[in-house]
Amino acid sequence: MIPGEFTYHRPASVAEAIALLVDHGDEARPLAGGHSLIPMMKLRMAAPEHLIDLSGVADLKGVSQEGDVITIGAMTTQAEVIGSALLTDKLPILRETALLIADPQIRYVGTLGGNVANGDPGNDMPALMQCLSASYVLAGPDGTREVSSRDFYEAAYFTALAPEEILTAVKIPVPAPGHGYAYEKLKRKVGDYATAAAAVMLTMSGGTVSSCAIALTNVGDTPLFAEEAASILDGSTLDRETVKKAVAAAEAITMPASDGRGPAEYRTKMAGVMLERALKRAAERAQG
Amino acid sequence: MSEIENLPVTMTVNGKKVQRFVEPRTLLIHFLREELNITGPHIGCETSHCGACTVELNGMSVKSCTLFAAQADGAELNTVESMANADGTLSALQEGFRQMHGLQCGFCTPGMIMRAHVLLKENPSPTEDEIRAGISGNLCRCTGYQNIVKAIQYAAAKLNGETFQEAAE
Ligand SMILES: Cc1cc2nc3c(=O)[nH]c(=O)nc-3n(C[C@H](O)[C@H](O)[C@H](O)COP(=O)(O)OP(=O)(O)OC[C@H]3O[C@@H](n4cnc5c(N)ncnc54)[C@H](O)[C@@H]3O)c2cc1C
Ligand code: FES
Ligand code: FES
C-alpha cells in the first residue's frame, strides 16, 4: 500500500500555504496529521499531486480564551485537546469526545482541524462542533471568513471549504458554567468509527431545561444538527414522554447507510439510544 | 507524472543522526526498515490499526505506517532497538515482557514495548485500566493481553523501586 507520487511542500506561514494552494489548484491538498488523508492515499482514493504540510506553520497551534470565545488552532492535536487544562475546565465535552476517537497513537498526530475539515461523516468532532455552535475560520487569497459549523457540511467529503482555503482555527462560545454535557458513541471496538453517536449540551434551571443543543454523528451524509429534537426538550423537565418525542424527532432526520456497522434501521435506532443516554448523563451533570 | 525530486530528510534515530534523500511518498516505516535497516518496527496491517509499527517520535507514540518520512524531518526518533540498557542488559520493560511471558510469537512486541515506554513516561504508576486504554491501539493475536498488562505493571514497579508480586498466567 504505497501512495501515489506527489511533491511535498512545507510552508512556514498561512500566506505561503495559501499561495501554494492557489498555484496548484485542485491538484493540491493540505496535510495536517495525515491520519485520514494518508490512509486514503494508500488506497489511491486520494491522489493529490502536491501535499502542503501545515506542520511548519506555528500560528496554527494552541488553545486560548478571549472574552467568551475559545479559539483552538487547526493543528492542535487530539492529544493536546485532551491535555488542555483550559478545555477540560470550560469545555469538558471536547475531552470526552476526543478520548473516544481512534487510539492513543492516532490522537497524538490527528488534529482537530483535520477532523472537522475532512468532511467524513464518521468523524466525531463535526457533530460536536455543531452542538457547541462553533464556527470555522477559513483563510484564503481574499482574506478570512467565518463559517458556522452548522452551515459547513454539504455532503460526504463536500464542505464549504474552497480548494484554495485553509481552516486556521475553530471558535467555540464558552458554555455557561454548570452546564450538562455528554457525548455517547456506539462503536464495535477501539479505533472504530461510530455506528451512531450523539452530542448533547444542556442547561437546567429549577429542574427544567433552559437551553439544549443536540447533534448526531455518522447517521447521514453529514453531521446532523437536531434542532427540532432540542426545541421539543426546551422548557421540559426531561420527563419520559417528552424525551420519547425528542428521540423520535432526532431519529426522523437520520439517513444512515447500511454497512458493516449494521442495517440502516438499526443505526437509526442506535442514534436514538445514544441520544437518550446522552440526555440522561447531561442532565445528571447539569447544575440548577 | 515524472521527475519528482527526492527530499533530504534528517533525523536522530536511536541517538544517531541520519540523513537520506527519499521520495516524498516514502512512509516512515519503509524509511526505517529499508533505508536504515532498522527492522524492529514491524508492518502488521499497513492500515493504521495494529500498532506493530509503533515508534517514539519526539516523545509521542506514533504508527510509522501512517506518516511520511518527510513529516519526521528534524525529529528525534526511537525504536525498540534503543530500549536495552547501555551495558546491553534488558531494560525494565524488556525484563517485564520476559519475566511475565508478555509475548508468544513476538510480532507485536516491538510496538507494545515502544507504546508502553511512552505510557510509563507520561504516567509512571498506571492502573490496570489505564494500561489497557494506553495499549488499545496495539493488537496482539497471541497472548490475550493479560501477560502484556502484567509485563507493563512489572516494569512500572521496577522503575518505581518496588517489586511486582504477581506471577504470569
Ligand atoms: C485507525 C483509525 C481510526 C480512526 N478513528 C476515528 C474515530 O473514531 N473518529 C474520528 O473522528 N476520527 C477517527 N480517525 C481519523 C482521525 O481522527 C484523523 O486524524 C482525522 O480525521 C483527520 O485529522 P488529521 O489531522 O489526521 O488530518 P489529515 O488526514 O491530514 O487531513 C484530512 C483532510 O482534511 C484536510 N485538512 C486538514 N487540515 C486542514 C486545514 N487546516 N485546512 C484545510 N484542510 C485541511 C486535508 O487536506 C484532508 O483532506 C481514525 C483514523 C484512523 C487511522
Ligand atoms: S502496520 Fe502500522 S498500524 Fe499496523
Ligand atoms: S505475541 Fe504474537 S501478536 Fe502478540
pLDDT tens digit sequence for B70-119: 999 999 999 999 999 999 999 999 999 999 999 999 999 999 999 999 99
* pLDDT confidence band for B24 (50 / 70 / 90): very high
- Domain boundary among the residues B61, B82, B103 is at B82
Q: Do B25 and A5 touch (CB under 8 A)?
A: yes
Residue B108, domain member (yes or no): yes
C-alpha cell at A145: 471568513
For the CA of A40, the closest atom of ligand 1 is 29
Q: Do A102 and B137 touch (CB under 8 A)?
A: yes
Angle, alpha carbons A122-A128-A131 (nearest 5°): 130
Find the B14 Cα to ligand 1 centroid distance in Å: 29
B1 closest CA partner among A44, A37, A39, A50: A50
Q: Do A5 and B137 touch (CB under 8 A)?
A: no
Find the A37 Cα to ligand 1 centroid distance in Å: 7
Q: The CATH number of the domain where B41 resides is what?
A: 3.10.20.30
Residue at A279: amino acid letter: L
Dihedrals phi, psi of A155, to nearest 5 degrees: -165, 180
- CA dist A214 and A277 (Å) reads 12
Any chain B CB within 8 A of the CB of A37?
no
Any chain A CB within 8 A of the CB of B136?
yes
DSSP secondary structure of B69-89 = GGGGTT-EEE-GGG-S-TTSP
CA atoms within 13 A on the CB side of B158: 16
- Return the H-helix or E-strand segment holding A15: helix A14-24
From B115, which residue of chain A is nearest by alpha-carbon distance?
A: A105
Round to the nearest angstrom and report the end-to-end CA distance of chain A. 54
What domains appear along chain A, each with residue ranges and CATH number?
A: 7-56 (3.30.43.10), 58-173 (3.30.465.10), 180-283 (3.30.390.50)
Q: Among A10, A53, A105, select the one facing B62 at the smallest CB separation.
A: A105
Dihedrals phi, psi of A216, to nearest 5 degrees: -125, 145
Q: What is the pLDDT of residue B169?
A: 80
Residue B169, domain member (yes or no): no
User: Which one of B68, B122, B130, B139 would you mutate to disrupt binding with A, by most A Cβ within 10 Å of its Cβ?
Assistant: B68
Distance from CA of B48 to the nearest CA of A (A): 8
Chain B residues 13-32 within an 8 A CB cutoff of chain A: 23-25, 27
Residue B168, domain member (yes or no): no
The interface predicted TM-score (ipTM) is 0.96
Residues of chain A positioned with their CB less than 8 A from the CB of B136? 103-104, 190-191
- Domain boundary among the residues B82, B111, B128 is at B82
From A101, which residue of chain B is nearest by alpha-carbon distance?
A: B137
For the CA of B66, the closest atom of ligand 2 is 2
A127 closest CA partner among A179, A176, A184: A184
- Shared domain for B30 and B56, answered yes or no, is yes
Here the contacts of B19-22 (C-beta below 8 Å, separation 24 or greater) are B22/B69, B22/B70
- Shared domain for B55 and B77, answered yes or no, is yes
Verify whether ligand 1 is closer than 6 Å to residue A33 (CB atom): yes
B119 closest CA partner among B165, B145, B153: B153
Q: What is the pLDDT of residue B166?
A: 82
The predicted model gives B36-65 an average pLDDT of 98
Counting as low any pLDDT under 50, the low residues of chain A are: none
Q: Kindly state the percentage of chain B with pLDDT values over 90.
A: 93
| C-beta atoms surrounding A92 within 10 Å | 15
Q: The CATH number of the domain where B126 resides is what?
A: 1.10.150.120
Distance from CA of B163 to the nearest CA of A (A): 28
Q: What is the DSSP letter of B27?
A: B
Q: Do A7 and B70 touch (CB under 8 A)?
A: no
Any chain B CB within 8 A of the CB of A29?
no
pLDDT reading at B1 higher than 60: no
pLDDT in tens, A226-254: 999 999 999 999 999 999 999 999 999 99
Domain count, chain B: 2
Tell which one of B28, B32, B33, B47 to mutate to probe ligand 2, the residue whose CB is within 8 A of the most ligand atoms. Answer: B47
C-alpha cell at A202: 444542556
Q: What is the pLDDT of residue B3?
A: 76
Q: Give the three-class secondary structure for A119.
A: coil
* pLDDT confidence band for B4 (50 / 70 / 90): confident
Pairing type for strands B76-78 and B7-13 reads parallel
Q: What is the pLDDT of residue B2?
A: 55
- CA dist B98 and A279 (Å) reads 47
pLDDT reading at B151 higher than 70: yes
Q: Give the three-class secondary structure for A59.
A: helix
- CA dist A220 and A197 (Å) reads 11
Give residue B52's domain range: 7-82
- Domain boundary among the residues B59, B82, B105 is at B82
Dihedrals phi, psi of A67, to nearest 5 degrees: 60, -130
**Sign of the torsion formed by the C-alpha atoms of B69, B72, B76 and B82:** negative
Q: Give the three-class secondary structure for A160.
A: coil
